[in-house]
């Protein structure tokens, strides 16, 4: 995923936290914020040490989240900043379960473009 698709700066994270709409399931918390000048969505991922004490465990989860988002990319709204926070239950899950739970929480957060408006 290109760097332009990522929320990287602390100020951007704080802005989404302050002006957010949040939803959650057992594996993820998702914060969304509508942007004024959308070109494409931006994604921020946060994984605490509660998910995995070792860095490679947290990177493993982050890679699977990023890969799932790449697969969802064609049907995602372009006017959103999205923050995904992984819960500890995401640590030992395989790709299919992570993707299924991420899709579920994205539907709750209204991240996908409606099929009838395409």
Cβ atoms of 30 and 105 within 8 Å: the answer is yes
In terms of C-beta density within 10 A (0-12 exposed, 13-18 middle, 19 or more buried), how is residue 57 classed?
A: middle
Write down the pLDDT at residue 1. Answer: 65
Write down the pLDDT at residue 116. Answer: 47
Beta bridge partners of 32: 21, 82
Q: pTM of the prediction?
A: 0.87
Write down the pLDDT at residue 117. Answer: 46
Within 13 Å, how many C-alpha atoms sit on residue 10's CB side? 0
Map 10-49 to HEC letters: HHHHHHHHHCCEEEECCCEEEEEEECCCCCCCEEEEEECC
What is the block-wise mean pLDDT of the chain (118 residues), using blocks of 10 residues? 76 81 94 86 92 91 94 92 93 93 95 69
Write down the pLDDT at residue 5. Answer: 76
User: How many of the other CB atoms lie within 10 Å of CB of 61?
Assistant: 21
Write down the pLDDT at residue 17. Answer: 81
Which domains are delineated in the chain?
Answer: 3-110 (3.30.230.10)
Rounded to whole angstroms, how far apart are CA atoms 2 and 15?
A: 21
């Amino acid at each position: 995923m290109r760097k332009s698709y990522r929320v990287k700066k602390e100020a951007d994270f704080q802005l989404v936290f302050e002006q957010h709409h949040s939803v959650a399931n057992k594996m993820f918390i998702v914060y969304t914020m509508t942007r004024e000048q959308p070109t494409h969505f931006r994604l921020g991922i946060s994984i605490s040490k509660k998910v995995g004490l070792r860095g490679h465990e947290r990177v493993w989860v982050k890679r699977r989240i990023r890969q799932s988002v790449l697969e969802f990319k064609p049907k995602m709204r372009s006017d959103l900043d999205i923050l995904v926070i992984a819960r500890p239950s995401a640590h030992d899950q395989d790709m299919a379960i992570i993707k299924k739970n991420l899709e579920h929480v994205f539907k709750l957060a209204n991240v996908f473009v409606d099929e009838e408006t395409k």
